Structure 1
Amino acid sequence: MASTPAEELAETFVELADTMSDEFDLDGFLRLLVNRCVRLLGVPAAGVLVEGHGVIASHDVLLPVLRYEESPLLDCARDGVPVGVPDLVATSLWPTFAGSALDAGFASVHVLPLCRRDVTIGALALFRAAVGKADVRLAKAVADLAAVGILQSRALRRAEEVTRQLQYALDSRVIIEQAKGVLAERLGLGMGAAFTALRTYARSHNTRVSDLASSIVDGRFDTDLLRDRRG
């Protein structure tokens, strides 16, 4: 049984909100966004620009149009302000973009920012075959939800990276303390002198202190090489 418009809208919102899994794929998410816009909003084509990722289009014919260095997408993404072009023939702005869009069979375009509060990360463009203004209230809701999803995913990835870095730092600190203990026992050093020997050797051999410490702890390194590195 085919979904009703209300059911498809609900499905779209659920899919666009699902960005918190480890398997989140931004490219696939953006393709979902433009394809859903075509189905839900009754436009023949849609495209999206996201900073640091490039452009994604619902149809290949749009790709050269979206990639122009002067376009309403770039202006919208830069300024965070919607851009409506109800008649591409009549506009004097972005002449190359407008000509290419007309050649592709489109007569108007409306571009919405992908933003959350004061953060704008891109723009969503809706292309139409007819001249005229568009009702973009639903499109704005979709664009806002997509922006929230992308920003949440980025925040999660940053948090995970910080956690990995902190865990690496903690693990490295533990290994270094263990290596200092080994050197102190084998070479008759205080803990401060043991660390000085460890650090001096690592610097002179262009290696990380944590890597050298690990090789000392697991027995791969001859600690006698550090007898003249006590500082």
Structure 2
Amino acid sequence: MRCENREALLAAALVEAADTLTDGFETTAHLRRVSDRCVELLGARAAGFMLIDGGRTASLAGSGEPCDLALDLLRAQSGGGPCLDSCGTGRPVPPVSLGTAHAGARWPVFTELALRHGVAVTFAVPVRGRGSLLGALNVFTAALPSDAQLVLAQTLADATALGLANHHAYAHCRTLATQLQQALSSRVRIEQAKGMLAERWNTTPDTAFLTLRGHARRHQLPLDTVARWVTDRTEEATRLRRGPEPGEGPGGRS
């Protein structure tokens, strides 16, 4: 791969790894795309991510040839493997030659499957965002990687962690904004309903509010639902009867 092409591919990979501020974001598909870039940049047989949540595997995503090779290798690590080790310690797992007796004894099931698919070497790097361990990136190759390739893999993992953390913050802000908008809309609707009932019954807004609240409580309904009946002029709104609950007054409004 020519140097300028490699630099352009790396730049595109880093942008893609961090590009997560979209409403249609889907974690598995995103990690699969980053895995594609990793395979292409490192000349690997396969690469994949294992994300964790509360110490448990939350999702797997990978790329390789055949296309499900990375997923097979990640799933084979339930009894031990480089990605699982990195997730457990939060540290990189240096390149391991799988043809050695040590590798076979360390991860027997994983090693057997990897060798069967022509994977001679594997290593893993942590995916850590803002102080929290999110998972690990596992790379499967036919030869020992260079130091530059190890740095590149960690760089992609770091960019991925940044993208995932940013999406989490973005989604949280969107949720809060939606909740605030719903609360504001509900409050506006209740005020509108109070005004409409007060005008219809020639009474005060406080009395109208007590009627709305009393009906909602008696029928175990959200106050906003009853207010919507009034503003939408539905048939249910005709069930409302003027007057506060017995013993209630304007001072009892909450």
Q: What band does the TM-score fall into relative to the shorter chain?
A: 0.7 to 0.9
User: What percentage of aligned pairs have identical amino acids?
Assistant: 37
Aligned: 1:63 with 2:63:
no
1:110-168 Cα shifts (integer Å, max 9, x gaps): 111111231122211001224x5653111111110111112112211211111111011
Shift of 1:95: 3.0
Provide the aligned length of Structure 1 versus Structure 2: 229
Partner Cα separation in structure 2 for residue 20 and residue 207 of structure 1: 37
Matched with 1:41 is 42
- Are the equivalent residues in 1 in contact too, given 2:48–2:60 (CA < 8 A)? yes
Q: How does 1:1-231 map to 2 (within 5 A)?
A: 4-51=5-52, 54-59=59-64, 60-67=68-75, 68-71=77-80, 72-84=82-94, 86-88=96-98, 89=100, 90-91=102-103, 92-130=105-143, 132=144, 135=147, 136-187=150-201, 190-221=204-235, 223-227=237-241, 230-231=244-245
Q: Separation in 1 of the partners of 2:175 and 2:159?
A: 24
Query: Alignment partner of 2:97: what SS?
Result: coil
Provide the TM-score with structure 2 as the length reference: 0.78
Task: Give 1:191 shift.
Answer: 3.7
Unaligned runs of 5+ residues in structure 1 are: none
Cα 1:196–1:77, aligned 2, differ >3 Å: closer, same or farther?
farther
CA distance in 2, matches of 1:203, 1:78: 51
- Runs of 5+ consecutive residues of structure 2 not aligned to the other structure: 246-254
Is the Cα–Cα contact under 8 Å of residues 28 and 59 in structure 2 kept in the other structure?
no
CA-to-aligned-CA distance 1:36-73 (integer Å, 9 cap, x gap): 11111122111112346511121312322212433332
Give the aligned CA root-mean-square deviation in angstroms: 2.6
Q: Comparing 149-158 with 176-185, which one deviates more in the overlay?
A: 176-185
Question: What is the distance in 2 between the residues matched to 1:29 and 1:214?
Answer: 41
Kept after mapping to 1: 8 A contact 2:16/2:34: no
2:179 partner letter: Q
Name the stretch that deviates more: 162-171 or 98-107: 98-107
**Aligned 8 A contact 1:187 1:227 in 2:** no
Alignment-mate amino acid for residue 121 of structure 2:
S
Structure 1 pair 183–119 and aligned structure 2 pair: CA distance change class (3 A):
same
SS of 1:15's equivalent in the other structure is: helix
Runs of 4+ residues deviating >6 angstroms: none
* Cα deviations by residue, 1:196-228 (Å, 9 ceiling, x for unpaired): 332332244343221221111121145452327
Task: Determine if contact 2:226/2:237 at 8 Å carries over to the other structure.
Answer: no
Q: TM-score, normalised by structure 1?
A: 0.85
C-alpha separation in 2, matches of 1:105 and 1:27: 25
Q: Structure 1's 195 and 100: CA in aligned 2 closer, same or farther, altered over 3 A?
A: farther
Q: 1:46 to 1:203 in 2, by over 3 A?
A: same
| Distance change >3 Å, CA 229–CA 140, structure 1 → 2 | farther
Distance 1:77 1:203, change over 3 A: farther
How much has 1:74 moved relative to structure 2?
Answer: 3.1
